Amino acid sequence: MNIYLRYLRLPMMPNIWCSGCGNGIVLKALLRAIDGLQLAKDEVCMVSGIGCSSRLPGYVDFNTLHTTHGRALAFGTGVKLAKPEMTVIVISGDGDALAIGGNHFIHAARRNIDLTLILFNNLIYGMTGGQYSPTTPPGRYASTAPYGNIEAPFDICKLAEAAGASYVARGTAYQAAQLDKLIEGGILNRGFSLIEVLVQCPTIYGRRNRLGDAISMLKWQRDITMSRKAAEKLSPEELAGKVITGVLFAEERTEYCEEYEKLMARAQGIDDNRS
């Protein structure tokens, strides 16, 4: 059986994504990663917020939760803490996770709670029609930036690392095979994992910024990115304008739910009548 068919909810098809959208490529990589890890469907929970990519959980046969704008990580925190044995994967976009949900993003990373966040970065608010997001590069056009964007974008991976995430990786829809590995690594990490994926949005972002069709945008991803290994050999000047891909940061850190287990043991060991 085609591995995708094993996981897709066929009655939910067709999906809402535009032709040429990169989201489907990431969905397939995610399913290959889950399949490769042989996770039981009942033990996987997928949580999302609002936006194009946040429709993903509806399409897959797991315990799926499509929540409010920006709040997926907070909902996921509730699921994970209540049922730590569950693998909780959070699907979010750049607007969802970093603007309206920015607070939950840094705090989930700080707690190092075992959630795997797959952040679909298409550099724009696609679903609402092309407004600029916290990752839209300066000078790019959006429906709310008709004279060009004047805001500085977040470096999502640096933000996650600084906030305390224990696994930080970046991939692209263009390098789909590498994505499987990056996502697998995130799921296996016991702690907060971020996988930022650069996805093309030819319909909204591409058209407005004259980046051509989906294929041109995928080539553009290829041209602006460089693997971490290759980048290590270059000087900062040579790296200017390059987006580095691969596992950018990984460190063993105490995981929140495990720490909570210890807290419970301590609390249960304290005699109530002592004081």
- 8, 33, 52, 76: residue in contact with other proteins (rule CB under 8 A): 76
As separate numbers, helices (DSSP H) first and strands (DSSP E) second, the chain gives: 12, 10
The answer to whether residue 267 forms part of the interface with other proteins (CB under 8 A) is yes
Report yes or no: 167 and 108 within 8 Å, Cβ to Cβ. no
Closest-CA residue to 125 (of 197, 52, 198): 52
Among 18, 39, 81, 244, binds other proteins (CB under 8 A): 81
Cis, peptide link before residue 57, omega less than 30° from 0: no
Is position 153 an interface residue for other proteins (rule: CB under 8 A)? no
* x/- map, 36-75, other proteins, by CB under 8 A: -----xxx-x-x---------xx--xxxxxxxx--x-xxx
**Cα distances (Å, whole numbers) of residue 12 to 56, 61, 176:** 10, 10, 24
Size of the site for other proteins (CB under 8 A): 44
Note whether 4 binds other proteins by CB under 8 A: no
CB of 240 to other proteins, least distance (A): 35
Stretch that binds other proteins, among 83-91, 123-131, 138-146, 217-225 (CB under 8 A): 83-91
Structure tokens of 156? 């999502």
Distances (CA, A) of 57 to 8, 62, 95, 208, 233: 10, 8, 18, 28, 39
Q: Which two tokens stand for residue 224?
A: 């602006």
161 neighbors 137 (Cβ within 8 angstroms) = no
Which one among 15, 36, 39, 86 touches other proteins, defined by CB under 8 A? 86
Q: Which of residues 88-107 bind other proteins (CB under 8 A)?
A: 103-104, 106-107
Contact residue for other proteins among 1, 10, 11, 146 (CB under 8 A): 11
Residue closer to other proteins, measured from CB, 45 or 218? 45
Count Cβ neighbours within 10 Å for each residue of 239-259 and write b for 16 or more, e otherwise: eeeebbbbbbbbeeeebbbee
Residues in a beta bridge with 90? 47, 117
CB of 10 or CB of 150, closer to other proteins? 10
232 vs 261 by CB, closer to other proteins = 261
Q: Which is nearer to other proteins, 100 or 239 (CB)?
A: 100
Contact footprint for other proteins (CB under 8 A): 9, 11-12, 41-43, 45, 47, 57-58, 61-68, 71, 73-83, 85-86, 103-104, 106-107, 260, 263-264, 266-268, 270, 272
